[in-house]
Structure 1
Amino acid sequence: MKFGYKKLYIDGQLTDASSGETYEVICPADEKPIAKIAWASKEDTERALESAQKGFEYWSKLPLEERLEWIDKLRNKLLENRDLLRESIMYEMGKVWEGTDEDLTSITDSLKFYADEIKNRVDIPIEDKEGTHAHRIVSQPLGVAVAFLAYNFPLLNLGFKLGPALAAGCSVILKPSEFSPLSAYIIGELCEEINFPKGVVTVLCGDVPGVGVPLCESTIPKLITMIGSTETAQKLIAQSIKTSVKRYSLECGGNAPFIVFEDADLDLAITHGANLKIGNSGQICVAPNRFFIHESVIDQFTEGIVKRFENAKLGFGREHEPDMGPLANKASVIKVHNIVKEAVKQGGKVIYGGEPIEGPGFYFQPTAIRLEDKKAEILQHEIFGPVAIIVPFSTKEEVIDLANNTDAGLASYVYTKDEALLDYFTQKLEFGEVHLNGLKFDIYLPHGGIKNSGIGVDCSTYALDDYLIRKRVTQALN
């Protein structure tokens, strides 16, 4: 196997699972094994929790400058091994080579951004109205954080948690998805190589009874943070609240509307819409599912996005330079295919694609569907694949109701040259992010949702708040 055998990283050491159990990591491009990882047991998880608590006690008391030196050392180690990390993501996710750079850049940017940002955190004074006391808000590390990570951006997701946790003074247990654990296990190896303080970072993967439940039900973690589905978030809350009240930072699923008016720059809207569905094979929480296109330009838009889909090159590997790779696993192929079939049952017409691609690998055709029923139940589902469901609308009042008709509230997109319309949608859209005539994501920009799309934010200075205690200190004046 290309990447061999990878061990758990617990208490500063690489170790086999106590049970000796392993798990085979499959490349979704050809369905062949690429690595074996140690598969953690409940015993391993309990040991990881105890180690993380000791790690927190050490790390939280370490002078800030020393903490930042360690973070910088880790960041430099990742950069030294950038090709190894990018290649591991390409194989575990089937991601195109260019796409792996986003993961690597995100984790290294996160480590640097939060190392800089924590230095800006100072005590906040509060004026005493009567002049009898002095008040200030001080920030202190929260405790052990447990991070459950989605498979779609293995190191981007990891970096969104690792950066603020380490900068804030927390230890962190990283539980990657079983569909893309390889790069996280390599992070553990790199931590071990530089002798990163033990217990501060832990990497392990295993099943729900052996890992997921013990991590949640333990009283040691003070923060449960996650990137994944709303259903998973609900389970984590239910499991973890049984034993202690914890803090939560949860980035959950989305069901983004993509709204295009008749005066929009159609070429721009088509390019952005197609890129969001082709990029990462549509496995992006902020990718639009529901394309609401003004009835006067819907034919042009559909023709344009179909042309982009037709020209998209599918494949795997650096030498082939594909535009789109496979889905992450067989279950995703089945799910996406079922969504397409259900959309057709509900009146949709497949304009392009709509089928899995025969042969090895979990490939699915980029797919465009026209759907006239604006209230079809299928519009309530997050697709998480390369499928665009295109729906007509006629007025701003109609489309705002359609856009907001979802339990999700992560990202949204609007294309029009009318400034009044842009302001209208800024005010009316029930989403944590509103992108107008374009889109941008970066480590310094807050990323989070409302409604069932989550609690808290990833990225930006605001993410640090999830890992810090705010304590009010009041002193009487003589």
Structure 2
Amino acid sequence: MTALQQALSRCPTDLLIDGKWVPSGDGSRIKVVDPATAEVFADVASATVEDAVAAVEAAERALPIWADTPPRERSVVLRRAYELMIERREEFAALISAENGKALADARAELNYAAEFFRWFSEEAVRLSGTIQTAPAGGYRIVVDRAPIGVAVLITPWNYPAAMATRKIGPALAAGCSVVLKPASDTPLTALAIGALMLEAGVPAGVVNVVPANRSSAVVSALLAQPAVRKLSFTGSTEVGRILLKQAAERVISSSMELGGNAPFIVLADADLDAAVQGAMLAKMRNGGEACTAANRFYVHESVADEFSAKFAEAMRAVRVGPGLDENTELGPLVNEAAVAKVDELVQDAVGKGAVIRTGGQAPDRTGYYYEPTVLDNVAPSSAILDEEIFGPVAPIVRFTDVEDAIRLANDTPYGLVSYLYTTDLREGMRVAGKLEAGMVGLNRGLVSDPAAPFGGVKESGLGREGGHEGMLEYTETKYIATDW
């Protein structure tokens, strides 16, 4: 039996509500398509509005039980979830690759990253501390405590079906909250497999509920309308984030938003170009470019632009493209046909405005949703590819001569999730990093994600932080008690 067959045999395909696997209220199903073949290989239950309400009610019943569970016991459950996920690494990787399309190497990397959130927050669960101080005027004490915020609605995207789920479930459970997870319709299997794993790890019934739904708008609206829901955590596009913030405002629901990005990758004149190319490959091609943290715009100093673009194109040209489940594949297909069409539209717009194709530049003639690794040089400032999130394996290069111009160009966007910068001058690197309008900066690094670090953006890239100690605090309310003794 292959890893995928084993994963599918273990993965439930109904809704997880109150610790039970139940069919959709109206019997509807979501077809799951393999992007490498464009063929349906599984189907799962699609939640109705009534199912969503039932999930919240289950979470509400479970909330006081889980909130009163000692932190050490919550920690043990999360640690067990980590261990189970690592034990089944190959099964999860195959499942992720099958429904998302990403190469197995990327899927394994995601699985390791996803599991680490369970391990990190298993350790943080016992560190949810408050403070005690004497009031400055004297006469009484200021006691500050942290309480679970309540039932949390978690909405995750398709590009990291495991990691975006664990990055939300981990801190929520560590803080003592119960959750309702609504995964992306393109990738519901991984979320359901995680739900089953949580039950096996010892999570009480109702603490974790999973409700895939292809009628997302109606289901999410119903979730947010429930009085028990006090937290919304969403990862996805800024456009959808705006809509959800408006809905959350109706009931003043605490909201964490990890939204779109338009990450600049700056190469200064003194950069180590081999290191910069290596970092560029990681920042651009991790997850096939389908990541909010993916380098989206490359600003390269004129004096090194020819050499950098040549080396970058050479590295991109060498990437092996194929089905995600093939061990030799380094770049799998994009998630669906619409994704390919969007990427190609951005490339053709740039080329029409004068960009030079160094490698790639088209969708290959093969079954599945593929796009060639692409490097575009001398991209015009008016090109749409510089303003929109590419979400594909395409790297547009813009040349600059003045560092301050590069900073201005990098910041000339409503987004501010992550920026990348390469230079051998650490003092200059720290100076420029300080001027970049981003929640995260990779200085001589093409990867910034770490479960122990606060992940999040500024401007229209989001609200709040995930990961780190801050990630758990997002699921708490601060309670101040004035007393004397």
Give unpaired runs (5+ residues) of structure 2. none
- 1:473 corresponds to which residue? 481
Task: Measure, in 1, the Cα distance between the counterparts of 2:111 and 2:358.
Answer: 36
- Aligned to 1:284, the other structure's residue is in SS state coil
- Aligned to 1:431, the other structure's residue is in SS state coil
Change (3 A) 1:358 1:263: same
The offset of 1:31, in angstroms, is 1.0
Question: 1:279 touches 1:324 (CA, 8 Å); kept in 2?
Answer: no
- 1:218 corresponds to which residue? 226
- 2:428 corresponds to which residue? 421
1:366 aligned onto 2:366 = no
The offset of 1:216, in angstroms, is 2.4
Task: Measure, in 2, the Cα distance between the counterparts of 1:210 and 1:129.
Answer: 50
Q: Among 130, 133, 140, which residue is 1:133 paired with?
A: 140
When normalised by structure 2's length, the TM-score is 0.94
- What amino acid does structure 1 have at the position aligned with 2:472? L
* 1:34-433 correspondence to structure 2 within 5 Å: 34-193=41-200, 196-206=203-213, 207-242=215-250, 244-374=251-381, 376-433=383-440
Question: 1:14 touches 1:192 (CA, 8 Å); kept in 2?
Answer: no
- Aligned to 2:372, the other structure's residue is in SS state coil
Task: Measure, in 1, the Cα distance between the counterparts of 2:59 and 2:433.
Answer: 42
Question: 2:324 touches 2:333 (CA, 8 Å); kept in 1?
Answer: no
Change (3 A) 1:190 1:265: same
- Aligned to 2:303, the other structure's residue is in SS state coil
- Aligned to 1:403, the other structure's residue is in SS state helix
- What amino acid does structure 2 have at the position aligned with 1:68? S
The offset of 1:27, in angstroms, is 0.6
- Aligned to 2:391, the other structure's residue is in SS state coil
- What amino acid does structure 2 have at the position aligned with 1:140? A
Question: 2:385 touches 2:396 (CA, 8 Å); kept in 1?
Answer: no
- 1:7 corresponds to which residue? 14
Question: 1:277 touches 1:366 (CA, 8 Å); kept in 2?
Answer: no
Change (3 A) 1:338 1:221: same
Task: Measure, in 1, the Cα distance between the counterparts of 2:263 and 2:230.
Answer: 31
Q: Among 16, 20, 27, which residue is 1:20 paired with?
A: 27
Task: Measure, in 2, the Cα distance between the counterparts of 1:265 and 1:195.
Answer: 49
The offset of 1:193, in angstroms, is 4.5
The offset of 1:163, in angstroms, is 0.7
1:444 aligned onto 2:452 = yes
The offset of 1:326, in angstroms, is 0.6
- Aligned to 2:299, the other structure's residue is in SS state strand
Task: Measure, in 1, the Cα distance between the counterparts of 2:348 and 2:55.
Answer: 44
Question: 2:171 touches 2:472 (CA, 8 Å); kept in 1?
Answer: yes
Could you give the per-residue CA deviations for residues 339-394 of structure 1, whole angstroms, max 9, x where no partner exists? 11222233322222111122211000111112353354541111111111100000
The offset of 1:79, in angstroms, is 3.2
Instruction: Out of 81-90 and 193-202, give the one that drifted further.
Output: 193-202
- 1:454 corresponds to which residue? 462
- 1:435 corresponds to which residue? 442
Task: Measure, in 2, the Cα distance between the counterparts of 1:285 and 1:261.
Answer: 23
Task: Measure, in 1, the Cα distance between the counterparts of 2:203 and 2:467.
Answer: 24
Task: Measure, in 1, the Cα distance between the counterparts of 2:382 and 2:366.
Answer: 36
Could you give the per-residue CA deviations for residues 264-316 of structure 1, whole angstroms, max 9, x where no partner exists? 00011111112332221101111111100001111111111110111000112
- Aligned to 2:390, the other structure's residue is in SS state coil
The offset of 1:154, in angstroms, is 0.8
Task: Measure, in 1, the Cα distance between the counterparts of 2:367 and 2:291.
Answer: 23
CA RMSD of aligned residues (A): 1.7
Q: How many positions carry a matched residue from both structures?
A: 476
The offset of 1:149, in angstroms, is 0.4
Task: Measure, in 2, the Cα distance between the counterparts of 1:208 and 1:419.
Answer: 46
Q: Could you list the runs of 4 or more consecutive aligned residues of structure 1 that deviate by over 6 angstroms after TM superposition? A: none
Seq. identity, %: 34
Task: Measure, in 2, the Cα distance between the counterparts of 1:258 and 1:195.
Answer: 43
Question: 1:374 touches 1:402 (CA, 8 Å); kept in 2?
Answer: no
Question: 1:256 touches 1:411 (CA, 8 Å); kept in 2?
Answer: yes
Question: 1:14 touches 1:189 (CA, 8 Å); kept in 2?
Answer: no
Task: Measure, in 2, the Cα distance between the counterparts of 1:460 and 1:320.
Answer: 33
- Aligned to 1:458, the other structure's residue is in SS state coil
- Aligned to 1:328, the other structure's residue is in SS state coil
